Structure 1
């Protein structure tokens, strides 16, 4: 599957993607979020084609995806001579940074029992309502009733940015709520289980663990092309499941919740794959301002790995 100028991914590692549907738009969002956001640069289209090739995404699909993502204000295009370069737009950077807070976060802080409620006015235009719902779902809110979304540990700064970007400050009420001690918490636990379909989310986490756990011991020894492939696929699948997981507080989750194990595995694998995958990226990627910038320090802080940051 390799393109000229890149090393092939080994067949054994390539089998990790078996059975997955890897769409061009979604894969490019993963690449820009994981690779580009820590060092905002515009990447040559040819480099994007090389990075996408091991995942079965050909140059035509990459060109179509970059066009669509630019039209949807995820990417900004720059023309230099005969070459096209793509970087994150202001809106796209905001989206991936918001998502990054969830994807690469460390352990959640202790919950204070409060919920953030977002209530959208009933007369808001359908297009605004749909955009808000999409962005809030991405942020980890759950729809508990028509026009009402809830989050147990909302990032209020990110919420404010979402409302401002949608120009919906006057269309949305934001409130706090908490359970009353005189009443049982069990109905709330059942409501959260139904709202967020936790059974389906648990199954998705278990599938991720079955796919990636066998690589844990050998990840640090993988060749650069293999390390890049596994790192990207890991973040892609982790992000896909995380979008469905509300990251509920411990009090709302069963004791054997597989999301905890999945986060620990991602922390371990990402750190083990980082050096080799970065070597591959620096060798393959061309940016509008030259070579890919070094982002080792910020990358090593991901998944709460602050203790490892001194190795850069």
Structure 2
């Protein structure tokens, strides 16, 4: 696909905001080089960052920060730098990958409600539950019940409950992401017309914009999600686009 047409097609994803360069790099490595032994060469990294309108000096600063934070390790082979996730960076990427790449069809189909003796929502949300009201939480039926809590199996959830469980602070962001993904899906050509570099760039933007929202709240079981919630619509579009544009092999990008 011609570069100008591709840039125009992916512009809605670039315009969403929140594109911190170090975070973009985490999304890129998490998508393209999450497995042990996978590396991204300096020229490839530079080409992808340039395609996302990241200035070279900003990319260098972000790379330095990620090395300092033990996320990324770099080695030089001749004149070419090779970058990879550290064991710690790989572990964190793997831990988040289930949430990022699970499709809506893979969401849990059973849920439970727990009543606790305290209102420590942070602790319970870290355990995978979502607060419905003080001391009352819902979550996947397979989650361990906290000590001292009472658990009830989930039944048919009323619409008001589903609406109340939606993260209100992210409502506008999910709507913007859903709209952007629909525009990208409409304007992009078929996968076979894109270069491996273009697909890697597209996937990074999709994963990054989805990750920065989805990881801010626990995953809800499917029976607790409204069919027309913008977060579900965005999730469906993410799954569709990542399937439509499969991850290219790193050597393929390097030869472009």
TM-score by length of 2: 0.72
Aligned equivalents of 2:86, 2:22: Cα separation in 1: 15
The answer to which of 67-76 and 226-235 deviates more is 226-235
Which residue of structure 2 lines up, in the alignment, with residue 282 of structure 1?
Answer: 251
Post-superposition CA distance 1:226-254 (Å, at most 9, x none): 33332222222222332345332233322
Contact 2:35 2:90 in 1 (8 A): no
Which residue of structure 2 lines up, in the alignment, with residue 113 of structure 1?
Answer: 112
Which residue of structure 2 lines up, in the alignment, with residue 197 of structure 1?
Answer: 169
Aligned equivalents of 1:155, 1:179: Cα separation in 2: 12
- Give the SS at the match of 2:75: strand
Contact 1:115 1:153 in 2 (8 A): no
Contact 2:131 2:165 in 1 (8 A): no
Contact 2:38 2:84 in 1 (8 A): yes
Which residue of structure 2 lines up, in the alignment, with residue 256 of structure 1?
Answer: 228
2:190 paired residue among 219, 228, 237:
219
Aligned equivalents of 1:100, 1:20: Cα separation in 2: 22
Contact 1:17 1:233 in 2 (8 A): no
Number of matched residues? 243
Which residue of structure 2 lines up, in the alignment, with residue 23 of structure 1?
Answer: 20
1:56 aligns with 2:53: yes
Post-superposition CA distance 1:28-63 (Å, at most 9, x none): 111100000045423333331122111111222221
- Give the SS at the match of 1:278: coil
Which runs of structure 2 are paired with 1:152-171 in the superposition (5 Å)? 152-153=139-140
Which runs of structure 2 are paired with 1:89-168 in the superposition (5 Å)? 89-106=86-103, 107-114=106-113, 152-153=139-140
Give the C-alpha shift of residue 83 in structure 1.
4.5
**Greater RCO between the two (CA within 8 Å, min separation 6)?**
2
**Residues 80 and 202 (structure 1 numbering): CA distance in 2 closer, same or farther, change over 3 Å?**
closer
Aligned equivalents of 1:116, 1:229: Cα separation in 2: 45
Give the C-alpha shift of residue 65 in structure 1.
0.8
- Give the SS at the match of 1:76: strand
Which residue of structure 1 lines up, in the alignment, with residue 7 of structure 2?
Answer: 14
Contact 2:162 2:224 in 1 (8 A): yes
Aligned equivalents of 1:206, 1:268: Cα separation in 2: 12
Which residue of structure 2 lines up, in the alignment, with residue 246 of structure 1?
Answer: 218
Which runs of structure 2 are paired with 1:171-186 in the superposition (5 Å)? 175=147, 178-179=151-152
- Give the SS at the match of 2:140: coil
1:36 aligns with 2:33: yes
**Residues 211 and 247 (structure 1 numbering): CA distance in 2 closer, same or farther, change over 3 Å?**
farther
5+ residue gaps, structure 2? none
- Give the SS at the match of 2:111: coil
Which residue of structure 1 lines up, in the alignment, with residue 72 of structure 2?
Answer: 75
Contact 1:13 1:230 in 2 (8 A): no
